[in-house]
């Protein structure tokens, strides 16, 4: 069974930075896309960023463009999300996900999900 394990969440003041990391554990698996989604209290889960595993093309939600950077860590077979200039509205549980399909921003196409890591940005 494949598990995705996130790390790096926490509490930060507005304007600060955090780096999230996600690595698979368990059996080996292939993926086309790895992405990050987030869910704030009372809101639906929303797309944040994604990276094509081979081509390394990246995709971002408009709300995080220019502030967040998704990258692939070859050595660890992991994906990272560098979050800069954080805002209180970025507060949410952040989920790592992997997909064998080719639809970066659609949560329903992702087959594997992590448990989530809390990011809290204070004003």
Q: Tell me: pLDDT of 12 over 80.
A: yes
| Residue 76 pLDDT | 73
pLDDT in tens, 67-104: 999 999 877 778 999 999 999 999 999 999 999 988 99
Distance, in Å, from the CA atom of 110 to the CA atom of 55, rounded to the nearest integer, reads: 18
pLDDT at position 77 is 77
CB atoms < 10 A from the CB of 32, how many? 17
Phi, psi of 24 (to 5 degrees): -80, 150
Give the C-alpha separation, 120 to 111, whole Å: 26
Phi, psi of 109 (to 5 degrees): -90, -5
Mapped onto helix, strand or coil, the DSSP state of residue 107 is: helix
pLDDT at 91 (0 to 100): 98
CA-based nearest residue to 96, from 56, 49, 36, 39: 36
pLDDT tens per residue across span 18-76: 999 999 887 777 889 999 999 999 999 999 999 998 888 999 999 999 999 999 987 77
Confidence of residue 2 (pLDDT cuts 50, 70, 90): confident
Structure tokens belonging to residue 4: 């995705």
The per-residue pLDDT for 27 is 73
The confidence score (pLDDT) of residue 26 equals 76
Higher-scoring residue by pLDDT: 3, 1: 3
């Amino acid at each position: 069974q494949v598990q995705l394990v996130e790390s790096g969440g926490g509490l930060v003041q507005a304007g600060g930075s955090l780096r999230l990391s996600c690595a698979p554990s368990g059996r080996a698996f292939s993926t086309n896309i790895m992405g990050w989604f987030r869910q704030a209290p009372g809101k639906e889960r929303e797309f944040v960023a994604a990276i094509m595993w081979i081509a390394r093309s990246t995709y971002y939600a408009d709300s995080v463009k220019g502030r967040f950077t998704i990258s692939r860590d070859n050595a660890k077979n992991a994906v990272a999300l560098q979050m800069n200039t954080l805002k209180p509205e970025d507060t949410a549980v952040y989920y790592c996900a992997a997909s064998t399909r080719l639809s970066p921003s659609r949560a329903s196409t992702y087959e594997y999900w992590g448990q989530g890591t809390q990011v809290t940005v204070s004003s």
